[in-house]
Amino acid sequence: MKIRRAAKYGFCAGVRIADQKVKKFAAGGNSGNILGQVVHNERVVDEMEQLGVHTVQGFDEVEQGTIVFSAHGVPPSFHQRARARGLRILDTTCPFVYDIHDEASVALSEGAHLVFIGDPKHREVIGYTHDLDPADYHILMTEAEARAVDWTRYGRVKIFYQTTLNADEFEPVARLIESRVPATRRADTICYATKQNQEAAHELGRDPEVTCIVVIGGKRSANTRHLWEICQRYKPSYLIQGADDLRSEWFAGGGVVGVTAGASTPDYVVEEVERAIVALAPSSPVPARA
């Protein structure tokens, strides 16, 4: 059995920097609380816990010390709330997410109605919208939701995407809005890292030698799930968090196993999974890379 990794996979620059910032903070003998997962990967969260940086789900759970804002960012008001409470802030928000906050503010000041295509429960989307007047924006995921909006109320619209989405899937939603409001503009907010990982997943799926694909990532990671959806279009594909989730029957046919990983998956998890896949193939005791 051989393993073929996607040309691009795993940690993006934003997550790598967030991970490093928190580890450096902990290495300095500090402890604190992360609002939400620093990145959507349970292994990384466990690692942080062991370093003394705990994950909390709500602001009110942090009464003192340092609060860590994750790579997904937070609503601007959270910075003021933290300061008002006397908390120190370790901000690991990805610069690309900050750019989208800025672009949305500019669009709003220019009179555009904002549309965020994404998951309303995702921290990144909450970060963009929490502080806005609800009359100024919509969060949409489906064409049905877009159809239900009275677009005649808006002279201009600006569309933003949650950075980790697969934009192709939401093309009908964007087109519908454009058909109702001619002065609609799209912001190019799908992250380059997400695009590269997605393009590489398409390539892996199209590779005629690849018989199945293992997609590694946290179960709450949106970008990992999108990679899995892409891979499934081409080959039998399995979404796992780590080596323990592998099943030998997936590899019974042998051949080349494709491997990719979401933007919040550390390299060491990818390597563990590859070793475990090879170990599950009795005919292939020595790891081989196609």
State the DSSP string of 125-165.
Answer: HHHHHTTS-GGGEEEE-SHHHHHTS-GGG-S-EEEEE-TTS
Whether 124 is a known active-site residue: answer: yes
Check residue 38 for interaction with ligand SF4 (CB under 6 A). Answer: no
Report the nearest approach of ligand SF4 to the CB of residue 131 (Å): 20
Q: Rounded to the nearest whole angstrom, what is the least distance from the CB of residue 93 to ligand SF4 in the complex? A: 9
Q: Which strands make up the sheet holding 2-5, listed edge to edge?
A: 2-5, 256-261, 210-216, 237-240
Told to check if 191 binds ligand SF4 by CB under 6 A, we report yes
- The single residue among 70, 164, 198, 237 that binds ligand SF4, judged by CB under 6 A, is 164
Alpha-carbon distance of 128 to 188, in angstroms, equals: 15
**Region near ligand SF4 per CB under 6 A, out of 61-69, 89-97, 153-161, 198-206:** 89-97
Distances (CA, A) of 94 to 12, 97, 172, 244: 10, 5, 28, 31
Which of these ranges, 11-19, 49-57, 148-156, 177-185, lies near ligand SF4 under the rule CB under 6 A?
A: 11-19
Number of residues that bind ligand SF4 (CB under 6 A): 14
User: Could you report how far apart the first and last alpha carbons of the chain are, in Å?
Assistant: 9
Name which of 94 and 278 has its Cβ closer to ligand SF4: 94
| Catalytic one of 42, 47, 124, 274 | 124
Does 37 engage in binding with ligand SF4 (CB under 6 A)? no
CA dihedral angle for residue 142, residue 105, residue 194, residue 267, rounded to 10 degrees: -130
In the complex, what is the shortest distance from the CB of residue 192 to ligand SF4, in angstroms, rounded to a whole number?
7
For the chain, the helix, strand and coil percentages under 3-state DSSP, each to the nearest 5: 45, 20, 35
Nearer to ligand SF4, 184 or 198 (CB): 198
- CA distance linking residue 155 with residue 157, whole number of Å: 7
Which of the residues are catalytic?
124
Q: List residues binding ligand SF4 (CB under 6 A).
A: 12-15, 71, 94, 96-97, 163-164, 191, 193-194, 263
